[in-house]
Structure 1
């Protein structure tokens, strides 16, 4: 599952209060669910995917660290795992979980770790989810289009809707953010990644096919436009 995981915001101007009160933070943490239909992700080289993913995202802008858990359902298969990324030593760890247990692979860092929330392209005004008011923030970058529903009162991302570039086949990805916190939580590696005897070698066929190549889709999609 490609790293899509962190769909938020990117553009130019929104009110000063929104920028200062909500976006001047050292990071964030959240649970999420993501549903994609015919989604074209950065790591699929133009191939479309349909999937469901649930998990958690924890990003520390200042320390340049990121932790993600993912549970992805594709046609006829399921992938469960974790991702830990560290900018200081340009290293990431991918934990693969299957019927045989868990294994950890250490790899060079090949995904971006955000340094801040992105700028906003346009503020389209308020809209209610049920009777709960959010602000619609629009992001357009490199042909991709995204609308983010944002809770200004609590500085929280609520939902994100992304569509494929118009030059590509039609496709959409919707991400809902649950228990969003506008600050990062502490990040540490699990013991399986710190104990060499428990780590699997990177040439293992199963881990390379199910986790390293296909890792969290939501992460990639989410990170793509904003950071």
Structure 2
């Protein structure tokens, strides 16, 4: 598949289902909220051919926009940035937290005015993506859009007028700790993802 031929939602959902990426249980999300479902994109991205397919599908939304560099937050955005960058034929960088703040390390740089696509595997509140957008702006580069594999906010998250494209948009309910019905039932929780234990 080339960067000009987007996949259908049914086809994409089949990939996530077949790899067991959509998990059921009691989870604490990166945002601190609790949920009965968790989208573990690493279950899909562990297969390079599927990562490439999803990267091409996401890149298709930004072909012809003049993207010069793709940047994703570590950890979830690293492989997504790599595959979208490959599909678009541009550099792929990742931002990581240092002293609690997103930064570019490892000699990565952005030029003033450079057109940057920010990508991520999953967004719930969009906090990490917004931090990367702010970083890109602080470095004088120009964010031109946001691409995510899964928008689990159901379309509620926006990024100040930047175009946002997701391969899947899911309405997965999340609860504050004090309002979590799973906690009220005494169901043990786990904290998956890069800052948790799975």
TM-score (norm 2): 0.27
Which one has the largest radius of gyration? 1
Q: Which structure dedicates a bigger proportion of its chain to strand? A: 1
Q: Which structure dedicates a bigger proportion of its chain to helix? A: 2
Flag the structure with more relative contact order, 1 or 2, with Cα contacts below 8 A and sequence separation at least 6: 1
TM-score (norm 1): 0.25
